[in-house]
């Protein structure tokens, strides 16, 4: 008897860190995950990859504003082909914190991320990566 896994020619492939950084620079939409007091949360953001940090803008009143205070976070981008069953993802693990440096804030207002959503999005949050990993997967079941 052959099982599905014996036919399986799909595989994970690590994406080198340099390529992960290129992917981060090439995209503008990702997801932030952290531990809120009532459990883990994942929320999408539009971001810029700016001076090796991931920067996004948010409202001082929304759920993401809690990241103004130094918080451990995960940040993820991916591209998934549900039909083709292939895709890649980049996972950044690091620390989020509100941007307070005046020089950086001036640059960010000028060149930083443009949020899609309405409202007063005056709070800039920057994620400083500690680890950046990525992997690609392609499925090829021969059932």
Footprint on this chain of its own copies (rule: CB under 8 A): 5, 8-12, 27-29, 31, 33-35, 38-44, 46, 72-76, 78, 80, 82, 85-87, 89, 91, 93, 114-121, 137-139, 141
Rounded-to-integer distance, Cα 95 and Cα 42, Å: 15
Q: Where are the beta strands (DSSP E) in 20-62?
A: 29-36, 39-50, 53-58
Q: How far is the CB of 16 from its own copies (least distance, A)?
A: 19
Measured from the CB atom, the residue of 98 and 115 that comes closer to its own copies is 115
Cβ-contact 36, 66 below 8 angstroms: yes
Q: How far is the CB of 36 from its own copies (least distance, A)?
A: 9
Rounded-to-integer distance, Cα 13 and Cα 136, Å: 5
Q: How far is the CB of 139 from its own copies (least distance, A)?
A: 4
Measured from the CB atom, the residue of 16 and 119 that comes closer to its own copies is 119
Sign, CA torsion 14/19/21/24 = negative
Q: How far is the CB of 53 from its own copies (least distance, A)?
A: 17
Q: How far is the CB of 51 from its own copies (least distance, A)?
A: 21
Rounded-to-integer distance, Cα 91 and Cα 74, Å: 7
Measured from the CB atom, the residue of 18 and 38 that comes closer to its own copies is 38
Measured from the CB atom, the residue of 104 and 133 that comes closer to its own copies is 133
**Is residue 108 helix, strand or coil?**
helix
Cβ-contact 54, 75 below 8 angstroms: yes
Measured from the CB atom, the residue of 17 and 76 that comes closer to its own copies is 76
């Amino acid at each position: 008897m052959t099982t599905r896994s014996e036919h399986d020619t799909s595989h994970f492939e690590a994406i080198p860190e340099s390529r992960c950084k290129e992917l981060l620079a090439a995209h503008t939409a990702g997801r932030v995950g952290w531990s809120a007091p009532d459990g883990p949360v994942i929320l999408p953001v539009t971001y810029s990859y700016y001076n090796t940090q991931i920067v996004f803008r948010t409202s001082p009143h929304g759920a993401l504003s809690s990241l103004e205070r130094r918080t451990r976070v995960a940040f993820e981008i991916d591209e998934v082909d549900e039909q083709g069953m292939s895709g890649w993802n980049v996972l950044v693990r690091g620390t989020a914190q509100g941007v307070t440096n005046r020089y950086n804030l001036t640059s960010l207002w000028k060149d930083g991320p443009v949020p899609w959503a309405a409202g007063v999005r005056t709070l800039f949050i920057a994620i400083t990566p500690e680890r950046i990993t990525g992997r690609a997967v392609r499925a090829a079941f021969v059932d």
